[in-house]
Copies of this chain bind each other. A is one copy, B any other.
Amino acid sequence: MDKVIPSIDDAIADIKDGAVIAVPGFFACGVPRDLLQAIIRKGVKNLTLTCGCGPLLGAATELKTLVLNGQLKKVVDSYGLFRSASKGMADPFEQAVRNGTIEFEVYPMGTMAEKYRAGGAGIPAFYTPTGVGSVVEESNVTNIEANRTPKETRMIDGQKYVLEYALKPDYAFIHAFTGDREGNLRYAKTARNFNHVMATAARVTIAEVENLVESGQLDGDDVHTPGIYVHRIVAVARPQFAITID
């Protein structure tokens, strides 16, 4: 089952305006930069990017371009604003969030991880202790007040839990260190982060890989993401980027 697509632009050719795309990466680490640049070139609009821990702060140039191009409708993340309030004020994304032209919805990081994991694993909803006692238990936390809907809580064995739902994006953009032609992937160190769960959750998973190998070159016990989750693979050069974020 050969899933290799030679051109990254072909690999995202079917993505249309309004698509929901999962973007992994923990700040600068493990972000699918080439796929983000391809979606910028394609120019599709009205996108919802569902993230996990600030990949758009780590890929700040791409974020800025997406915002200035007017391609974003919504971002979902656990951490998406500059830490420094003054830097934030100057940031086009934060400005768009402040004036409501882009929706920004925030969840605890572990809840984001679990929402993808549930989406991939056929679990429609789960209870979690995370967020109890904070605004997170009251509604989804978004800058668009009209989109805040109350959350359910429940006592189980004397402890309070919040009900959270699965997240199933249309597409997942994945960055892996090694991938074989059938889509088996292996990540490098902490660049794994959200890549695996997002690959399981999306309807269509597109992986950029630094090292494309033949089937059989990855030992079966060394595979991090089984190929069944991966629909398209593209070889990319090892990205060059600065690790630090503001």
Residues of A within 8 A of B (CB): 114, 118, 121-129, 156-157, 159, 161, 165, 186-189, 192, 220-222, 224
- Count the copies: 2
CB atoms of B189 and A221 under 8 A apart: yes
Residues of the B chain whose Cβ atoms lie less than 8 Å from the Cβ of A189: 220-221
Q: Are A123 and B126 in contact (CB under 8 A)?
A: yes
Given contacts A189-B220, A189-B221, A221-B224, 20 further A-B contacts (CB under 8 A): A114-B121, A122-B128, A122-B129, A123-B126, A123-B127, A123-B128, A124-B127, A124-B129, A124-B156, A124-B157, A124-B159, A124-B161, A125-B126, A125-B127, A125-B156, A125-B161, A126-B126, A156-B165, A192-B221, A222-B222
Residues B187 and A221 in contact, CB atoms below 8 Å apart: yes
13 contacts between A and B (CB under 8 A): A114-B121, A114-B123, A118-B126, A123-B126, A123-B128, A124-B129, A124-B157, A124-B159, A156-B165, A186-B221, A188-B221, A189-B220, A221-B224
How far is B186's CA from A159's CA once the two chains are assembled, in angstroms?
Answer: 35
Report the bound CA distance from A114 to B192 in whole Å.
Answer: 22
Residues of B within 8 Å of A126, CB to CB, are 118, 123, 125-127
Report Cα–Cα, A157/B165, bound state, in Å: 11
A186 to B216, CA, bound (A): 20
- Chain B neighbourhood of A124, CB < 8 A: 127, 129, 156-157, 159, 161
Instruction: Give the distance in Å from the alpha carbon of A161 to the alpha carbon of B189 in the complex.
Output: 37
* Chain B: minimal CB distance from A168 (Å): 11
Whose C-beta in chain B lies nearest to the C-beta of A161? Answer: B124
Closest 8 A-B residue pairs measured CB to CB?
A126-B126, A124-B156, A125-B127, A123-B126, A124-B127, A124-B161, A125-B156, A123-B128
Q: A124 to B220, alpha carbons, bound, how many Å? A: 32
Return A30 CB to nearest CB of chain B, in Å. Answer: 13
Residues from chain B with a CB closer than 8 A to the CB of A222 are: 221-222
Question: For A188, what are the chain B residues with a Cβ–Cβ distance below 8 Å?
Answer: 221
Contacts of A157 in B (CB 8 A): 124
A199 to chain B, nearest CB (A): 16
A118: nearest chain-B partner, CB-CB: B126
Q: Give A219's nearest chain B residue, CB to CB.
A: B222
How far is the CB of A116 from the nearest CB of chain B, in Å? Answer: 13
